[in-house]
Homo-oligomer: A and B are copies of this chain.
Amino acid sequence: MPQVTFLPHEKSIEVPAGDNLIRAAMEAGVHINASCGGDGVCAKCRILLESGAVEGGLSERISTPDQEKGYRLACQSTVIEDVTVRVPVESSIDASVLKRQATPRSTARIHQPDFESLKEEGLFVPPVEEVCLELPEPSATDNQPDASRLVNFLTLNHAEHRLVMEMPVIRKLPEALRGDSFRVTATLARPVQPGRKTHIINIQAGDTTDRNYAIAMDIGTTTVYGQLIDLISGEVLAESGDFNGQISYGEDVITRIMAAEKPGGLDKLHEVVAATMNKIIAKIVKRARVDVDDINAITIAGNTTMTQLFLRVDPRHIRRSPYVPASNIYPPLKAVDCGLALGDHAAALVYPQVSSYVGGDIVAGVMGSGMYRTDKLTLFMDIGTNAEIVVGNKDWMACAACSAGPALEGGNIEFGMRAAKGAIEDFSIDPATLEPMILTIGNVRPKGVCGSGLITTVAVMFEMGVINNLGKFDRDLDTPRIRERENVYEYVLAWADETQVARDIVLTEIDIENLIRAKGAIYSGCLTLLEEVGLGMADIEQIYLAGGFGSYVDLEKAMTIGLLPETDPLKVTYIGNASLLGARMAALTNRLRQDVVTVTRMMTNFELSETASYMDHYVAALFLPHTDLNQFPKLKTRLGSAKANS
């Protein structure tokens, strides 16, 4: 990988060829003024090439003589080889703050599910199997019923026992048996517990054992994701996601439950989410070019409310103390009975729940991440509007959920937005001039700030001394970017003419307050849960981060604001959509379905609202990073040396 060296900082970083220079600077923790998100319009990110070359970087905003000297716009320059660039330092003040750069960007390792080891361990036994049988043809001396012929053959020649044939299969049997001279393929759905009944769920004429598919699906409150899985190879053949159609009935689970309580509401919300799921199914079936009749199962994970709404189970008591879900385990269902557009034989396997706020998505994450098999004391966090926390290992687990509010997903933030094109995702500030460097998703002019951008922005401002540990701007700083509007202090991230929205994009103290509340709820949730089981943050050996949130977030920044406990970033693994991963695993190995019952029983649920210490921990966490700075020793050291430097 080419190496980029920044002067006068004397910082070097290796980046993949094709990265642009301003992103490389951000990664290296080098500040370059930049207000337009990487679009090239503000022309503030001038740098001077000292050795090596870049592709692009020229602009009419740079005079020809300057271009000849080697000046380029960093945001327009693509790294192609080793290069040394100088960031212009316009005053000695600027130079003095070179050492007060924020910590380099640090994102979590991404978890790669290891299906090969599943195969090696012999666990790659999907819950639905196909077996081809050459049955003897009936005769005058052997005219047993079709069903008996099939069952007896499986018993005698395939050592299958306790077989149950379902009604739709009996209906298909006469034609299927005679479609290819009594050569048929039977689809067997395995019981969760060994020794229980195996259901014959489908019968097809001829040998169709080369076609055995399943769908894994994650029903998120915001987004629904589906994968089409080849149960022979274990591969994902196609995947797709879409907004949950229920969004128009409310953004979060509480408003959804309220919508479901209205007359006809439950049926409507069920229909709407089933329609979203069917849209995704249709898309991935088409994309993978499989016959929908060859799909034998769908494995589904969702939080407790999403699961109940999908299954048309009244969720009203989920939002009322003492927060009782209808059930934590659902029997194996028929996909068609759930309103899904699959064959009438297809089984629907729904992940069990732990409690009203620790649902099947979290259980799926625990299964998919492998947390339930590790010795290491693990902290599993699925961060979104609601944050779910699981702590434990293969021997025990405790879990809790806390309401973080929507700040981390860009909600309740004046210019908050989802992580989409134009969202400010990275931020740096010159502690002397207080000019920002902002990067947006897609390198376009900014529209707003997404969750990970918000965390970084607040963390950098805090560490640079722009805001104090209460999240308030230093009233003494002299810059037009910090201003008071309707009694609220704010920082202008981008001036109107540099944006796509034709308004100044600002970060207000109210925004910061909302972020602090969100991170405080999560951190104190972790702390309370750990305390309930007699442990502390220092005992955590690894952290799994799940949810849309985790992939972009800068771990060091998240620790700086006190969202995550301070730990070695290498201990943090990002597992992405853990719920979908768990659903996929459940489609591939029946063993996981066996284990999940035990795991779910093992997960002790704590209701934080009923835990006396939670409020104390919460109040203590409403600071950057926390009342007790000793819980963040590395940050404490950095803040100390920063003070010494200034």
Contacts and interface: CB of A to CB of B under 8 A. Distances in A.
Given A171-B312, A175-B314, A312-B171, A327 B166 contact: no
B327 A148 contact: yes
Interface stretch (A271-279, A328-336, A397-405): A328-336
Contacts of A522: none
A324 B138 CA distance: 8
A146 B316 CA distance: 12
Interface in A305-356: 311-314, 316-317, 321-331, 333, 337, 353, 355-356
A143 B326 contact: no
A228 interface: no
A607 B610 CA distance: 72
A472 B145 CA distance: 44
A164 interface: yes
Contacts of A330: 167, 170
Contacts of A138: 322, 324
B139 A337 contact: no
A26 to B, nearest CB: 46
Contact of A143 (B144, B145, B148, B607): B607
B353 A145 contact: yes
A147 interface: yes
Contacts of A324: 138, 143-146, 174
Interface string A563-583: 000000000000000000000
A165 interface: yes
Contact of A166 (B170, B313, B331): B331
A145 B326 contact: yes
Contact of A174 (B317, B333, B337): B317
B165 A322 contact: no
A167 B313 CA distance: 9
Contacts of A178: 317
Given A167-B333, A313-B171, A337-B167, A328 B145 contact: yes
A300 interface: no
A488 interface: no
A173 interface: yes
A222 B454 CA distance: 77
Interface in A144-171: 144-148, 164-167, 170-171
A644 interface: no
A316 B167 contact: no
Contacts of A147: 326-329
B337 A607 contact: no
A140 interface: yes
A322 B143 contact: yes
Contact of A331 (B165, B171, B314, B329): B165
* Among all A-B residue pairs, the 8 with the closest Cβ atoms: A147-B327, A143-B322, A145-B325, A140-B610, A145-B328, A170-B327, A174-B314, A140-B322
6 contacts: A140-B607, A143-B323, A146-B324, A148-B327, A171-B311, A174-B317
